[in-house]
Structure 1
Amino acid sequence: MEKLAEKLIDADIGKVLLDEPLANHTTIKIGGPAELYVEPKDIESLKRLMAFIREENIQWFVIGRGSNLLVKDGGIKGVVINLAKGIEHLEITGETIKVGGGYPLVKLATLISKKGLSGLEFAGGIPGSVGGAVYMNAGAHGSDISKITTRVHVLYPDGSMRWLSNEEMKFSYRTSILQSEPGIVVEAEMKLKEDDKETVTALMKKHKDYRRETQPWNDPCCGSVFRNPLPEHSGALIERAGLKGTKMGGVQISEMHGNFIVNIKKGVAKAQDVLDLIELVKKTIKEKYDIELETEVEVVGDP
C-alpha cells in the first residue's frame, strides 16, 4: 500500500495518508484505521484515483462527513476515499442547483433557505454530506432527498460516469439503487421552488431547533441507529422498553432520544461497544414487542 500511496502523491491526487484513524473522520469519534486514506481534490482527481484502484485491483470505500457510519475497530482495508474536502462545488441557476457529493447538507440547507428557495427545509440539522444523503435518501419531517432530486451524477468502479434520473435512482425509505449497485455520488441536481425568504428560513430554523432540543447532536454519535418499523418509531420503542441510558463500555443509549447511541468516553469507546449495545436493543425489542429492528447506521470494516 505504501507504493500506491507514493504513486498517488506523485500524481497530485490530493491528501494521502497511511493507517489514518477513522475516528478522526466519523461523527461518533470511533473507528479503526484506513489502510490508505485519500481526499481527492476535485472530480478529475477522483476519476484518476479510481483508475489507480482498478489497476491495483484493491477494494475501496467512500465516506463524506462521517455521519450515519460505524467503522469497526479493525478499520477498513484498501482505500478509503473522503469526498468532503474536495468534491463540494455548488452552482445555483434559478430554482435548480447542482451540488458536489461532498458538500455539507446542513450548510446547503442554510444557504439555500437564505436565498428564498424552498424544498430543503427538512434538512436543517441533518448532518452529513449531499452524497451520503442521496445514497441513503435521508429525510425528516415528512420529506426526503428524493422529493427534490431530479438526477444524480454517478462515477462507477469501471471508470464510467452517468447521470441517473430520479426514477433510475429507485429511491425508497432510507434507500437508493446505490446500496445494491455501487457507485460514487459525484454531483446531485435538485429542483427547488422560490418562496418567501422569511417563511423558508423560519421553517428551516424550526426543524433545526427541534433536532437540537430532542436529539443529542452535541455528543459524538452516528445519528439514528435504527430504521423506524413504521407505524412504530424505534426511539419510542426503546424508551418504552426502559433502555434509555443503558451503557456498554464507552457508549450509552442517549438519555435524550432512544434511537441514538452516544460516545461517552472519547478515545476509550470501541465500535464493539456500539455493536454489543445494538444487539441488546434488538433482542429486547424482539422479546417485548415481537418487532425486528433493522439498523439505519452503516456498519463497515473488520472486527
Structure 2
Amino acid sequence: MIEKMKELLVGIDIRHNEPLKKYTYTKVGGPADYLAFPRNRYELSRIVKFANTYNIPWLVLGNASNLIVRDGGIRGFVIMFDRLNTITLNGYTIEAEAGANLIETTKVAQFHSLTGFEFAAGIPGSVGGAVFMNAGAYGGEIAHVLVSAQVMTKEGDIRTIETRDMQFGYRHSVLQETGEIVISAKFALKPGDYTMITQEMHRLNHLRALKQPLEYPSCGSVFKRPLGNFAGQLIMEAGLKGHRIGGVEVSQKHAGFMVNVADGSARDYEDLIEDVINKVEVSSGITLEPEVRIIGDIEKES
C-alpha cells in the first residue's frame, strides 16, 4: 500500500507510523498509520479520494486542542491542516481556512478594528475545530459570527453550509453527525474602535491566564457545563482539586481542567475522567458529561 501511496499521492507530505503526541495539546497519543499535511484543497481531495478508493479510514485532527488521542494511536490516515491556514479580509468579513489558528484570526480582526470576535482571543485550536464544536467563551460563540462554512463531504466533494443549517448548540454542530470537515469559514464582524477591541481582548486573556492552567499541557475544558452548575465547582466541592492518576491531575488552578504534569498517558486522562465523573456523581448527584473528544485505539495491534 505504501508503494501505491507514493505513486498516487506523490508530492504530498505523508509520514508513516508518526507519533501523534508530538502534535497534540495534551502531549499524549500513539502513532498514526499515515499522517498527512496537505498544502491545499487539491491535495486534501486527493488524499480523501485515495483513502476511499482503497477503503482506508481517515479523519482530520485540526490543531488537536480539545481532544485526547488514545495511546494505541489511529488507524488509516490522520490529516492535519497546519498548512491550510490562509486568512483573508473582504470588507467586514473574514474568511479563514480551517487550519488557521483561531487566536491569529481574532488578531486580524483586531488589526482592522473589527469587533465581534473578541471572545475568541484566547481560545486555542484551529478555525475548523472551532466551527466543528461551536467553540465559545465569555458569552460569545462561533455561531454568533459565522456566515457560512465550506466543507468537504466523506466522498471528497466540497459544498457550502449556511449558519442556519449548522444546527449549532452548546459545543455542537451538525458536522458532528454528518462527518463533513470544515475547509474554510466566513465570519461577519462589525466596525469598531481599535483601542476598545484591544482592551477587551487583553481583559479576556488576563482572565484566562488567571483562571486556567496554561503552563501545562491539557485538553482544555474537560466537561460540559451542567445545567445550573459549573463543572469545576462540582469537582472542587468533591475534594478533587489536585487529584492525580499517573502523570495527569485535576488542575490546582481550575478544577475543570486536567493537566499533564509528569509525562502522563491517554489512559491516565481517561481513568481520571472516569474517576472524577463517578466521585462527582456520589458527591452531588450530578453526572458530568465530557466535552473533550476521545479518539483512537486503546492499544495498537501488533
TM-score, scaled relative to structure 2: 0.96
CA distance in 2, matches of 1:4, 1:24: 27
State the SS of the aligned residue for 1:170: coil
Alignment partner, residue 280 of structure 2: 285
Alpha carbons of structure 1 residues 7 and 295: separation in structure 2 relative to 1, 3 Å: farther
Alignment partner, residue 177 of structure 2: 180
Alignment partner, residue 115 of structure 2: 118
Q: Is the 8 A contact 1:225 1:260 kept in 2?
A: yes
- 2:95 aligned to which of 90, 98, 103: 98
Q: Is the 8 A contact 2:45 2:157 kept in 1?
A: no
Q: Is the 8 A contact 1:40 1:81 kept in 2?
A: yes
1:276 counterpart letter in structure 2: D
Alpha carbons of structure 1 residues 258 and 4: separation in structure 2 relative to 1, 3 Å: farther
CA distance in 2, matches of 1:126, 1:243: 25
Alignment partner, residue 89 of structure 1: 86
Q: Is the 8 A contact 1:109 1:123 kept in 2?
A: yes
Alignment partner, residue 3 of structure 1: 3
Structure 1 residue 196: Cα displacement: 0.3
CA distance in 2, matches of 1:193, 1:3: 51
Greater mean deviation of Cα atoms: 139-148 or 102-111: 102-111
Q: Is the 8 A contact 1:226 1:297 kept in 2?
A: yes
Alignment partner, residue 300 of structure 1: 295
2:19 counterpart letter in structure 1: P
State the SS of the aligned residue for 1:3: helix
Alpha carbons of structure 1 residues 8 and 87: separation in structure 2 relative to 1, 3 Å: farther
> Which consecutive aligned stretches of 4+ in structure 1 deviate over 6 angstroms post-superposition?
none
Structure 1 residue 111: Cα displacement: 2.4
Q: Is the 8 A contact 1:21 1:34 kept in 2?
A: yes
Alignment partner, residue 203 of structure 1: 200
Q: Is the 8 A contact 2:226 2:288 kept in 1?
A: yes
1:45 counterpart letter in structure 2: E
Q: CA RMSD in A?
A: 1.1
Q: Is the 8 A contact 2:9 2:47 kept in 1?
A: no
Alignment partner, residue 158 of structure 2: 161
Alignment partner, residue 258 of structure 2: 261
CA distance in 2, matches of 1:243, 1:251: 13
Alpha carbons of structure 1 residues 217 and 5: separation in structure 2 relative to 1, 3 Å: farther
CA distance in 1, matches of 2:24, 2:59: 14
CA distance in 1, matches of 2:72, 2:7: 25
Structure 1 residue 209: Cα displacement: 1.2
Structure 1 residue 89: Cα displacement: 1.0
1:274 counterpart letter in structure 2: Y
State the SS of the aligned residue for 1:44: helix
Alpha carbons of structure 1 residues 75 and 101: separation in structure 2 relative to 1, 3 Å: same
* Unmatched runs of 5 consecutive residues or more in structure 2: none
Alpha carbons of structure 1 residues 157 and 4: separation in structure 2 relative to 1, 3 Å: farther
CA distance in 2, matches of 1:4, 1:292: 48
Greater mean deviation of Cα atoms: 67-76 or 51-60: 51-60
Structure 1 residue 48: Cα displacement: 1.3
Q: Is the 8 A contact 1:106 1:126 kept in 2?
A: yes
Alignment partner, residue 64 of structure 2: 66
Structure 1 residue 110: Cα displacement: 1.9
Alignment partner, residue 191 of structure 1: 188
CA distance in 1, matches of 2:266, 2:179: 24
* Unmatched runs of 5 consecutive residues or more in structure 1: none
Structure 1 residue 5: Cα displacement: 4.0
1:275 counterpart letter in structure 2: E
- Deviation per CA, 1:217-259, whole angstroms, max 9, x where unpaired? 1210010010111221101111111101011001111100001
CA distance in 1, matches of 2:176, 2:40: 24
- Deviation per CA, 1:163-220, whole angstroms, max 9, x where unpaired? 1000111110000001011011000011001100000111011111111111011210
Q: Is the 8 A contact 1:5 1:18 kept in 2?
A: no
CA distance in 2, matches of 1:66, 1:182: 17
Alignment partner, residue 28 of structure 1: 26
Q: How many residues align?
A: 298
Counterpart check, 1:219 vs 2:216: yes
CA distance in 2, matches of 1:243, 1:249: 15
Q: Is the 8 A contact 1:254 1:261 kept in 2?
A: yes
2:17 counterpart letter in structure 1: D
1:99 counterpart letter in structure 2: A
CA distance in 1, matches of 2:160, 2:120: 23
Q: Is the 8 A contact 1:75 1:302 kept in 2?
A: yes
Q: Is the 8 A contact 1:234 1:259 kept in 2?
A: yes
Counterpart check, 1:248 vs 2:259: no
